[in-house]
Amino acid sequence: MEQIKILLNESDIPRQWYNLAADLPTPLLPPLGPDGKPVSPDMLAPVFPMNLIEQEVSQQRWIDIPEEILNILYRWRPAPLRRARYLEKYLDTPARIYYKDESTSPPGSHKPNTAVAQAWYNKQFGIKKLTTETGAGQWGSALAFACQIIGLECKVFMVRISFDQKPFRKMMMQTWGANCVASPSPETNAGRKILKDMPNTPGSLGIAISEAIEQAVTDPKGQTRYSLGSVLNHVLLHQTIIGLEAKKQLKMINEKPDIVIGCAGGGSNFAGLSFPFVADKINGDDIKIVPVEPTACPTMTRAPFVYDFGDTACTTPLLAMHSLGHSFVPPPIHAGGLRYHGMAPLVCQAIVEGLLEPRAYHQLKSYEAAITWARTEGFIPAPETSQAIAAVIDEAQKAKQERKEKVILFCYSGHGLMDLTGYDAYLSGKLTDYELPQEEMNKYLKELKNYPKAEARKTGKW
Amino acid sequence: MEQIKILLNESDIPRQWYNLAADLPTPLLPPLGPDGKPVSPDMLAPVFPMNLIEQEVSQQRWIDIPEEILNILYRWRPAPLRRARYLEKYLDTPARIYYKDESTSPPGSHKPNTAVAQAWYNKQFGIKKLTTETGAGQWGSALAFACQIIGLECKVFMVRISFDQKPFRKMMMQTWGANCVASPSPETNAGRKILKDMPNTPGSLGIAISEAIEQAVTDPKGQTRYSLGSVLNHVLLHQTIIGLEAKKQLKMINEKPDIVIGCAGGGSNFAGLSFPFVADKINGDDIKIVPVEPTACPTMTRAPFVYDFGDTACTTPLLAMHSLGHSFVPPPIHAGGLRYHGMAPLVCQAIVEGLLEPRAYHQLKSYEAAITWARTEGFIPAPETSQAIAAVIDEAQKAKQERKEKVILFCYSGHGLMDLTGYDAYLSGKLTDYELPQEEMNKYLKELKNYPKAEARKTGKW
């Protein structure tokens, strides 16, 4: 009998989140307001509750997880760490491949780790309703679930192409009592303006964010706030439970990863798994840490490190990040969760520092990896997760060539049961590869040239 | 911290299946051939491999699970036993509710427990291809998964109404490399005949079974066999790993069930969980064991115990079971897996003996239970599973009225992520209740009046 699942007892769940901001060799560049000056916590108060804003700007290394949040997470946490023995055998690799299985949550992804925390902090702050945006629907369904369990109203603006292609996510949100509309919608000024200019737009996360923020800040009673599923520091913080659990589980079997891999759209599942290991790398461990993105939306691998808005309508503060420009609307690739124009500032700062080695994969290669996974391990991965699997397979094959017993750890961020139309399109030969042309990229980036420069300091240590 | 998950190590997985036939107070009535005489194992040889036929007729109490089968099941087994603490709190019941979570398998239901075993035994016997039928698609996707992992071709005849309503199950099967067609199909004599007589039929499991058997027995090379996902003795046998694991897990926390509940279409998940507890009941334990079915297809609660064919085209032997008549085509309720005209002979014999207390629920009550579950426990159950949840809620409320600390155990047979159209229909008020009218039932039953009588002996002990 060969062990497949490394399980942690509920009593061994991590009781603190890890904040990479405390350990980054160079401090994060601050978000800037319209005047080009750093925004103060107060300026964010119409958008987020103050307890989350405190986490957003915190420099504290460890932050306690409230017991009430853990009591909700126990529905599926601690999540299993699994060994991909069947894929290892198929690849005939000396590498040992472990994956943290975040697909076991009710909505089927890592997203509820922060959705539950955010809903809980908002509820504590007296908020009655949350608004948000969603791409493929993983985030929207996670927030719908969390709001239902905690007792908040939930309104979701869903990127139109996913709303149309993936009606089942919308039904999930409704099952959990949320109100889900296609974005751009006629319900907000931002939505109406875009519908007028581009009535057939497939929508984008940037547009949907603008709509959700607008609806939160215009609540006359002031009891609505906005919730974001990725990018921000407090979101990444809540996700670190993934990596902290994985660390405990690997310790149980005396393993340490040589390579840590995750797909990155806004960066949250990648950061959640990897940041506790980035800390080890800062402390001298020899670990290769790889965020993976699609070639259709090459934020980390090709976009410059700049100050840019988080949304299309330029509502948010300017964030220092790798960005394709806030007007960028990616082509309708099926990995809907990996289509954001920017990337989490914490992830970007770690890239600037040389702590991470980003990589991009084509859609067809990802689906090929997904099919290999489904036909060996058995489980059907989300299209986003498949990007990580493509990198895992490459690393496992490299280990075979080098005859090295590498330990690979990756984040299985979600299952693909709600995304089978993508598999259908791939298997019937209807998908094609796409690489963002440089001239198109330059067009979007031109808008940013008058913004403040994001000049991050590099220590040159990695 | 209150424990939610009771987890079993891989090394503690049960290593034998339990065969209720060895302990039933009265022996099963034998299947009969066209001549009215019991069929011999040889007569089943064109349909099933001999190693499975041996299990079908076995009277041995414990049958070893081959190590190679366990090595496949470890992908998701042992399955978690969970306590529904959040539902308990919501109902404010003194009952303790445990559920065996069979939704964690790759296809999302209990079905692969037998699919893997059947595929493995067929492969051992030199078979190259399996054919089968599927209703909601849970069985077809499970067999597709198993055949892919074990290396067999797989052909699935899917009941047309589900094929049309649930294209995602078909995509799952294709992801695992199977060939899935709508039934009735033009590929078989049975299918062509029915399409000619009833071109707009929604199909039925009975019709699809006829097609799958026909395609198996007419393979000129003799390398194709048929695989059934429920009803037969060997199928129920393979599912007993559910109840055997649950028993070990309950023992870990010093609990014994007062009530055991499962939904029953053909009977396999119900039997899988309950038979090890039926054995305890035979040995004197005081346990209430409840199979649950829809009022739209009331096999156990209203149909007579008779000899009837397992399929519409009268291809199978006559089986002694509760049957609505092999021509019965139920209305298109959403619990596609609970629409079979018959019921597993082992389950029926246990009913005749008085060991089980069958119960029927309306569709609307089931969906109400499903929504309550999704909004408390968080996970979205399959429509079939919701029938069991409706009974669980009733029993928990009864325990509250009686102020008794009852222990309720049920089988969470699958998740509902592929069945969200049913939730959508329910939430938008499009679903109605349905009770099979007696005169319609009598019409189907009339056909059976010249068949041999099924006269089971009752010991009158329960």
Q: Which of B171, B380, B421 comes nearest A424 by C-beta?
A: B171
Q: Is residue A375 part of a domain?
A: yes
Q: What is the mean pLDDT of residues A70-77?
A: 97
| Rounded percentage of chain A residues whose pLDDT exceeds 70 | 98
Question: Cβ contacts (< 8 Å) between A2 and chain B: which residues?
Answer: 71, 74
Neighbouring C-alpha atoms within 13 Å toward the C-beta of B217: 17
CB count within 10 Å of CB A428 equals 9
Tokens of B177: 């490399």
Nearest to A391 by CA among A424, A437, A360, A417: A360
Q: Which of A149, A421, A427 comes nearest B378 by C-beta?
A: A149
Q: Is residue A430 part of a domain?
A: yes
Question: Cβ contacts (< 8 Å) between B172 and chain A: which residues?
Answer: 380, 417, 420
Give Cα separations from B57 to A373, B54, B458 (angstroms): 38, 5, 21
* Contact of B201 with B376, CB cutoff 8 Å: no
What's the mean pLDDT when you consider all of chain A?
Answer: 94
Question: Cβ contacts (< 8 Å) between A375 and chain B: which residues?
Answer: 148-149, 176-177
CATH number of the domain to which B337 belongs? 3.40.50.1100
Q: Is residue A48 part of a domain?
A: no
B interface test, pick of A75, A169, A372, A412 with most B CB neighbours within 10 Å: A75
For residue B1, pLDDT over 70 is answered with no
* Contact of B311 with B210, CB cutoff 8 Å: yes
Q: Is residue B422 part of a domain?
A: yes
Tokens of A135: 């791409």
| pLDDT at res. B132 | 97
What's the mean pLDDT when you consider all of chain B?
Answer: 94
Torsion of CA B10, A269, A205, A362, to 10 degrees: -80
Residues 359-418 of B with CB under 8 A from A: 371, 374-375, 377-380, 417-418
Q: Is residue A19 part of a domain?
A: no
Flag if A379 and B420 touch (Cβ within 8 Å). no
Give A335's pLDDT tier (boundaries 50, 70, 90): low
Q: What is the mean pLDDT of residues B428-453?
A: 91
pLDDT digits (tens, 9 = 90+) for B326-348: 988 777 666 666 778 999 999 99
Q: What is the mean pLDDT of residues A110-130?
A: 98
For residue A334, pLDDT over 80 is answered with no
Q: Which of B1, B148, B374 comes nearest A375 by C-beta?
A: B148
User: DSSP 3-state assignment of B390?
Assistant: helix
Tokens of A194: 């875009």
Flag if A417 and B420 touch (Cβ within 8 Å). no
Q: Which domain holds residue A423?
A: 5-12+64-108+234-448
Question: What is the total count of domains within chain A?
Answer: 1
Give B376's pLDDT tier (boundaries 50, 70, 90): very high
Residues 174-233 of A with CB under 8 A from B: 174-177
Helix axes A420-427, B167-175, angle to 10 degrees: 60
| pLDDT at res. B29 | 95
Q: Which of B11, B176, B379 comes nearest A106 by C-beta?
A: B379
Q: Which residue of A has its CA nearest to B145?
A: A378
| Rounded percentage of chain B residues whose pLDDT exceeds 70 | 98
For residue A225, pLDDT over 90 is answered with yes
| pLDDT at res. A1 | 60
| Rounded percentage of chain A residues whose pLDDT exceeds 90 | 85
For residue A282, pLDDT over 90 is answered with yes
* Contact of B223 with B370, CB cutoff 8 Å: no
pLDDT digits (tens, 9 = 90+) for B357-368: 999 999 999 999
Question: Cβ contacts (< 8 Å) between B423 and chain A: which residues?
Answer: 171, 174-175
Q: Which of B9, B11, B106 comes nearest A379 by C-beta?
A: B106
Q: Euclidean distance between the first and final Cα of chain A, in Å?
A: 41
Q: What is the mean pLDDT of residues A392-404?
A: 98
Q: Is residue A193 part of a domain?
A: no
For residue A136, pLDDT over 90 is answered with no
**C-alpha span between A136 and A386 (Å, rounded):** 14
| pLDDT at res. A238 | 98
| pLDDT at res. A44 | 94
For residue A333, pLDDT over 80 is answered with no
CB count within 10 Å of CB A38 equals 13
Q: Is residue A242 part of a domain?
A: yes
Q: Please tell me the pTM assigned to this model.
A: 0.96
Question: Cβ contacts (< 8 Å) between B427 and chain A: which residues?
Answer: 174-175
pLDDT digits (tens, 9 = 90+) for A93-118: 999 999 999 999 999 999 999 999 99
For residue B296, pLDDT over 80 is answered with yes
Q: Is residue A403 part of a domain?
A: yes
Give Cα separations from A97 to A246, A293, A385, A407 (angstroms): 13, 20, 15, 6
